[in-house]
Amino acid sequence: MARKRKKKGGALTLILLIIPAALIVLPTSILFGVGMIPTIVAYVVDRDPDKSAPITVGGLNFCGCMPFAIDLWKHQHTIGAAAKIFADPLAWMVMYSAAAVGWGLYYGIPPLVAGMEVTRAEKRVDVLKQKKVALVQEWGPDVAGDYFDESGGFEPGAEPEGA
């Protein structure tokens, strides 16, 4: 398997582009820097190389921070206005609750999908057993090629060859 090359110049891009841009819109940078702490935590604790936790948590966390950024842009784009937002407990609750919903999706969706797939596979096995019973009834037990009973499974105590 080929190794991925690390991008050279990533730190240089950060220094030359992102940091000056963040300084120009400092109140917004402060708002997102503090409001997106759950996303930073998700990035640090996620051991998956694809980093799906920060993507899930970060998307919803960003959505939780966005109404306050828009409010900041509409009225006063000052550090004092950002401080007023941080003084409001509702702002903290919205930003961090959105991140909590992201964590809920991250931990809730995979078991839900796995359960649905198991149920689907079990139904498929039942359909195949019914088809097998119908074939055995039509063609006789020799068509099954194993120790077969009428319920679609093996006779008790009898194991199929090769098991």
Q: What is the pLDDT along the chain (163 residues), one digit of tens a residue?
A: 556 555 566 778 778 887 888 888 899 999 999 999 999 999 999 888 888 899 999 999 999 999 999 999 999 899 999 999 999 999 999 999 999 999 999 999 999 999 999 999 999 999 999 998 888 888 887 777 766 566 656 665 555 555 4
Strands (E), 25-147: none
> What pLDDT shows up at residue 145?
72
Question: CB-based contacts of 136: which residues, under 8 Å, 6+ apart?
Answer: 143, 144, 148, 150
Tokens 């004092």, residue located: 80
Task: Report the alpha-carbon distance of residue 159 to residue 24 in Å, rounded.
Answer: 74
Question: CB-based contacts of 59: which residues, under 8 Å, 6+ apart?
Answer: 102
> What pLDDT shows up at residue 152?
58
> What pLDDT shows up at residue 108?
95
> What pLDDT shows up at residue 111?
94
pTM: 0.68
Measuring CA to CA, how many Å separate 159 from each of 30, 129, 163? 68, 17, 7
> What pLDDT shows up at residue 144?
75
